[in-house]
Structures are given as C-alpha cells and as structure tokens.
Amino acid sequence: MFWTGLQKEGSAIKWAKIRKKKGAISIEQLKTLPLTNDVKQLYFTKDKREETSITVISGLETPHLLLRELHFKIQEKKKIIQLIPFQIETELPYPPEESIVALQLFPKKETKETNVSLFAAKASSLQEHIDSWSDLGVESDEVSCIPVALARFTRQFLPNLQKGLLLHIGSNTSTAVFLVGDRIVFSHVFPLTLDTFSTLEKEQM
C-alpha cells in the first residue's frame, strides 16, 4: 500500500511517497518541485500493482484550519456526537452549517470523562482547496493538514515522545503544534519562514 502526500507552499509543491508493508511504514521519497511541473506524474508508477493501491492525500493550508478543545463528563461516543452540534455553535467563527468538522475523542477511564479535539474548516475553503488541485490534474482521495501530519509523523517515528512542541517551517508560513500523547492540544500558524532565519544569520555576521 502506498500514499502520496501533496502540499502546496507558495510556488512549489512538496511531495512525499509513503509505503506500508507488513505493518511497517516507511518514507520512500521526498521531493520539492515548482508548480509548473506535471503533478500527476508524481503519483503514478510503472508498477501496475502500485498504481491501484496509491492513495492521494492533499494538505489543507493551516490558516484555513480551526482547532478547538472540548470537554465532556461522559464517555459514551454516541451521546458525545449528539452533543457536538450544540457545542460548536459557540466555538466556530462562522455558522456550523457552513463548516466541515472532524473529531478525535480521548476518553479518560479513571474519571469517565472525554477530551475532544475538534478540527473545523469552512466548506467553501475546503472546496477551493479541492478545486485548486483539480486545476492541476490531481484528484485527492483524502484531505489532511499540517498539524495532523506532524502528529502522525511524530507518533510513527518518535513513539516514546509523550509531550512536545513541533515546528514545521514553510516557505510562506510556519506551523507550531503542541502534542500531548496522541492529542493535538495547540496549533498556530505564524509568518516565520526559512528566509527569516537567513536574514537573522546575515544580521549576526
């Protein structure tokens, strides 16, 4: 099984090919290419068996993502999901009916309570994201985002890390994620780039 991860950063595309074989996950290839390249060729291979098992995942830009932490004094998943629509009315800066929401539930057995990480984006932002890739000839099977990708990378390759601040430095913006166990507690995007570090280095010379 293969995954292709695609992320647009300014005038470039970040590309990753991930492989899962016998339960083990490995990063097969990493590339950075200009947007002018034929993107579709990145996720087709000469091996027909690979072609049929490749899942294409694109990354929603972090500024379009909203993360909220919710707390419930119950553990029943069905009841929590029923309560979510009433909770998000006060948590989102736009009408709930205009949003796309994903949840992660973290039950606490000792207290019979549940922490919930709520990820939300405007439906229009998600559609614009899908359309922008479609214009490049790419049809995403799934849409993820940088905070979730950072969390999954950490869990896979740093399994013993219980708590940490993760930083992704991009060409236009950077994303900071605070991770506690499997839970993303905090996510923030800010205008820090590789060029920022280059400028600081030159000023100190």
CA–CA distance, 110 with 142 (Å, rounded to integer): 35
Query: Residue 119: is its pLDDT beyond 90?
Result: yes
Instruction: Report the distance separating Cα 45 and Cα 82, nearest Å.
Output: 44
Could you give the angle at the alpha carbon of 13 between the alpha carbons of 164 and 66, nearest 5°? 45
- Mean pLDDT for 32-44 is 66
Q: Residue 45: what pLDDT?
A: 47
User: How much is the pLDDT for 129?
Assistant: 93
Q: How far apart are CA 61 and CA 149, in angstroms?
A: 12
Give the confidence band of 138 by pLDDT, cuts at 50, 70, 90.
Answer: confident
pLDDT at 171 over 80: no
Contact by Cβ (8 Å): 92, 99? yes
pLDDT, mean of residues 63-70: 90
Question: What is the average pLDDT across 134-153?
Answer: 88
150 in Cβ contact with 189 (< 8 Å): no
Q: Provide the residue type at 147 as one letter.
A: P
